Structure 1
Amino acid sequence: MHEAVLKEERKLRTIYSTEDVDDRQRIAYWTDAINRTHCESVNEPLAALGFRALMSTTRVGDLSLSEIESDALTARRGSEEVLHSPSDDFVVMALSSGRACLEQGGRQVVQKANQMVIYDTARPFAYVFPERYKSTSARIPRKAMLSRVPMAERLTARVVDCSSPLAGLAMSLVRQASSLEPEEGRGWGPRVGASITDILGAALEASLAPGLTPGGRHQELLRRVKADLRLRLDDPDLDLESIASAHNVSSRTINRLFAADGTTAIRWLWQERLEFAYRQLSEGCARSVTDAALASGFSDFSHFSRSFAKRFGVCPGSLLRKVA
Structure 2
Amino acid sequence: MQRLTTFDVPARDRLSYLHDFVARHVAGLRFRPADADSFAFDVSAYFLDAGTTIGTACYSAVHGERPRDLMAADGRQDYLMTIHTTDYEVAIAGKPPLSIRAGDITLVNEATAMAFALPNTLLKVVALNEARLAAIAPRVRTQAFHHIPAQAGGAALLTGYADLLRAAAPDGEAGRTLAGNHLYDLAALVVQGATNAAAEPVRASLGAARLELVKAEVLRHLTDPELNVSVIARRQGVTPRYIQRLFEQEGSTFSEFLRDARLDLAVRSLGNASAATISAIAFDAGFGDLSYFNRAFRQRFGTTPKEIKATALRRRQ
Query: After TM superposition, is the score higher than 0.5?
Result: yes
Shift of 1:107: 6.2
Q: Partners in 1 of 2:146 and 2:162 — Cα distance? A: 19
Match in the other structure for 2:191: 204
Match of 1:194 among 169, 181, 186: 181
Check conservation: 1:90, 1:142, Cα contact below 8 A: yes
Q: Partners in 1 of 2:103 and 2:199 — Cα distance? A: 28
Match of 1:46 among 17, 34, 41: 34
Shift of 1:232: 7.4
Shift of 1:23: 1.9
Match of 2:79 among 87, 90, 102: 90
Alignment CA distance shift 1:225-1:160 (3 Å): closer
What are the ranges of 5 or more consecutive residues in structure 1 without an aligned counterpart? 1-12, 208-223, 234-324
Q: Partners in 2 of 1:61 and 1:178 — Cα distance? A: 13
Match of 2:128 among 140, 160, 167: 140
Q: Partners in 2 of 1:168 and 1:107 — Cα distance? A: 28
Shift of 1:35: 1.0
Match in the other structure for 2:62: 73
Identity of aligned residues (%): 13
Shift of 1:32: 1.3
Report the count of equivalent residues.
202
Alignment CA distance shift 1:203-1:141 (3 Å): same
Check conservation: 2:19, 2:30, Cα contact below 8 A: yes
Alignment CA distance shift 1:228-1:19 (3 Å): closer
Shift of 1:57: 1.1
Between 1 and 2, higher relative CO (CA 8 Å, sep ≥ 6) is seen in 1
What are the ranges of 5 or more consecutive residues in structure 2 without an aligned counterpart? 205-317
Q: Partners in 2 of 1:26 and 1:54 — Cα distance? A: 11
| Residue type of the alignment partner of 1:121 | E
Match of 1:230 among 201, 206, 225: 201
Higher-Rg structure is 2
Q: Partners in 2 of 1:31 and 1:143 — Cα distance? A: 26
1:57 aligns with 2:28: no
Q: What are the Cα deviations for residues 43-85 of structure 1, in whole angstroms up to 9, with x where unaligned?
A: 1111121211001211222320011111111221122211122
**TM-score calculated relative to the size of structure 2:** 0.59
Q: CA RMSD in A?
A: 2.3
| Residue type of the alignment partner of 1:35 | A
Match in the other structure for 1:21: 9
Q: Partners in 1 of 2:10 and 2:152 — Cα distance? A: 42
Shift of 1:103: 1.8
Shift of 1:156: 4.1
**TM-score calculated relative to the size of structure 1:** 0.57
